[in-house]
Amino acid sequence: MHTLLKTSLLSVSLLLMQGCATHANFVQKYNSWMGHNISYLISQIGYPDSTYVLPNKNKVYVYERSRIYSIPSMPMFGYGYYDGYSMFGYDNEVIQETCKLFIETNKKGTIVRWGSRGNHCVSQ
């Protein structure tokens, strides 16, 4: 029972901490980088995970984030479903959060466009 309480408190605290992280803040953050040099952005957020050159000779910098974690889910009732003999058991739900950020620069290294894909592109 003590473990269940700890796990529940951890889950609630994670949800509260993510309350400030929003996609709107993410969009605002990267819109503010438009027109800046990519070297400055790299000095602030680190090196990209990959890069590639487009047919128009613009360069794209790709940043990827992925996080997998599990949270306990509600008890499941049913004879022998989990451990063979008990009337109920607990399960874990696995969550995967991803975000891939694409930053396009022109030949001079100026950020001209950006985009993202994923289910967790958020910023504080």
Angle at 19 between CA 16 and CA 23, to 5 degrees: 155
In a domain, 13, yes or no: no
At residue 74, does pLDDT exceed 80? no
CB 101 within 8 A of CB 30: yes
In a domain, 12, yes or no: no
At residue 16, does pLDDT exceed 50? no
In a domain, 31, yes or no: yes
At residue 82, does pLDDT exceed 60? no
Contacts of 21 (CB under 8 A, 6+ apart): 122, 123, 124
In this prediction, residue 11 has a pLDDT band, given cuts at 50, 70 and 90, of: low
Looking at the whole model, is its pTM more than 0.75?
no
Query: What pLDDT does residue 90 have?
Result: 64
Domain span including residue 46: 20-117
Q: Rounded mean pLDDT of 60-68?
A: 94
Most confident segment among 7-11, 79-83, 86-90, 92-96: 92-96
Q: Which of 64, 66, 24, 44 is nearest to 111 (CA)?
A: 44
In a domain, 8, yes or no: no
For the chain, what percent of residues have pLDDT higher than 70? 69
In this prediction, residue 78 has a pLDDT band, given cuts at 50, 70 and 90, of: low
Q: Write out pLDDT tens, residues 85-101.
A: 555 556 778 889 999 99
Instruction: Write the DSSP string, the chain.
Output: -HHHHHHHHHHHHHHHHGGG-BHHHHHHHHHTTTTSBHHHHHHHH---SEEEE-TTS-EEEEEEEEEEEEEE---EESTTSSSSS-SEE--EEEEEEEEEEEEEE-TTSBEEEEEEESS---B-
In a domain, 7, yes or no: no
Q: Which comes out higher in pLDDT, residue 27 or 19?
A: 27
How many domains is the chain built from?
1
